Homo-oligomer: A and B are copies of this chain.
Amino acid sequence: MIISKAHRTRAIGIFDSGIGGLTVVAEILRQLPNENMIYFGDTGRYPYGPRSREIIKKFSRQNINFLLEKGIKFIVVACNTASAYALEYVKRIYSIPMIGVVKPGSEAAARFTVNGRIGVIGTEGTIASLSYQKALKKINDSFKVVAKSCPLFVSLAEEGYIDKPAARLIAKDYLLEIKNKKIDALVLGCTHYPLLKSVIGSVMGKGVTLVDSAEQTAVAVKQALGRLDLSNPSKKAGKTRFYVSDSPGKFKILGERFLGKSIGKVNLIDINAY
């Protein structure tokens, strides 16, 4: 297949349930500064973590239909729950290349572990899907994987409860069980969790490497674009456009705080029309 230059300059489409996927955007901006991006945050239907597999599959289809309409070359499912529940399903439906965050996060954990004991934390959906557990076992069947859902972490991160004593108490409730299993790498299997890194790190102790899948996902995007001959040949800085399904003003404020720069207009769309 011959790929035109115009096709290579197309944007990477990224979606997440809300603002969490901006951790992936930040890493792509850093590692692939000349790529254009279209980001969709499903703020009218977040969070995805506690919802069913069936509805996450439907939401993912609608989000991808919207991104495709914008003329993109590649899709990143930046949400762990959507990656866990829907990535294999949407890959069978659509021909556009896409990646999620579960495989890159698992591969990184596999590189970091020494004793072969790996912890995974995420939303109820991500943990119930067994996606990380399966991805890690596929890399090395002798890995011992301990998984735990930490549903309150998303709200704590969103409310800025990232270093208060209450956050530490809740982190202890969730994590002591994993800590006791002597893991040496812990996958932060939800894009919100890196915001709680310091609390999670202090509960887990120094011997445990925290694996942030955003960074690894950006590396995987770079490799995939190279392999598929889809890298943007432009030398100019890429542009990122933002779309949401509710509250564009709030997204703009949080997004700019998150990325540490102006993000321009945030556009409101009706995702149920897709």
Q: For the complex, is A198 an interface residue (Cβ under 8 Å from B)? A: no
Q: A166-B166, A166-B169, A272-B272 are in contact. Are A247 and B51 (CB under 8 A)?
A: yes
Q: For the complex, is A45 an interface residue (Cβ under 8 Å from B)? A: yes
Indicate if the CB atoms of A159 and B151 lie closer than 8 Å: yes
Q: For the complex, is A170 an interface residue (Cβ under 8 Å from B)? A: yes
In the assembled complex, the CB of A184 is this many whole angstroms from the nearest CB of chain B, namely 27
Q: For the complex, is A152 an interface residue (Cβ under 8 Å from B)? A: yes
Indicate if the CB atoms of B170 and A247 lie closer than 8 Å: no
Interface residues on A, range: 20 to 34
Taken together as a complex, chains A and B put the C-alpha atoms of A159 and B50 apart, in Å, by 11
Q: A152-B156, A155-B151, A159-B152 are in contact. Are A246 and B52 (CB under 8 A)?
A: yes
Q: For the complex, is A207 an interface residue (Cβ under 8 Å from B)? A: no
Indicate if the CB atoms of B169 and A165 lie closer than 8 Å: yes
Taken together as a complex, chains A and B put the C-alpha atoms of A245 and B50 apart, in Å, by 13
Binary contact readout A30-65 vs B (1 if CB under 8 angstroms, 0 otherwise): 000000000000011100001110110000000000
CB proximity to B under 8 Å, residues A174-215:
none
**CB neighbours of A52 from chain B (8 A):** 246-247, 250
Taken together as a complex, chains A and B put the C-alpha atoms of A254 and B55 apart, in Å, by 19
Indicate if the CB atoms of A166 and B155 lie closer than 8 Å: no
Indicate if the CB atoms of B170 and A166 lie closer than 8 Å: yes
Indicate if the CB atoms of A164 and B159 lie closer than 8 Å: no
Q: For the complex, is A173 an interface residue (Cβ under 8 Å from B)? A: yes
Taken together as a complex, chains A and B put the C-alpha atoms of A44 and B164 apart, in Å, by 31
CB proximity to B under 8 Å, residues A234-274:
245-247, 250, 272
Taken together as a complex, chains A and B put the C-alpha atoms of A122 and B255 apart, in Å, by 25
Q: For the complex, is A112 an interface residue (Cβ under 8 Å from B)? A: no
Taken together as a complex, chains A and B put the C-alpha atoms of A43 and B170 apart, in Å, by 25
**CB neighbours of A43 from chain B (8 A):** 51
Q: For the complex, is A161 an interface residue (Cβ under 8 Å from B)? A: yes
In the assembled complex, the CB of A49 is this many whole angstroms from the nearest CB of chain B, namely 11
Taken together as a complex, chains A and B put the C-alpha atoms of A159 and B159 apart, in Å, by 16
Taken together as a complex, chains A and B put the C-alpha atoms of A178 and B45 apart, in Å, by 31
CB proximity to B under 8 Å, residues A144-159:
151-152, 154-156, 158-159
> Can you list 5 contacts pairing A with B, beta carbon distance less than 8 Å?
A52-B246, A52-B250, A152-B156, A166-B173, A272-B272
Nearest first, the 9 A-B pairs at minimum CB distance are: A155-B155, A166-B169, A166-B166, A55-B246, A52-B247, A166-B170, A272-B272, A52-B246, A51-B246
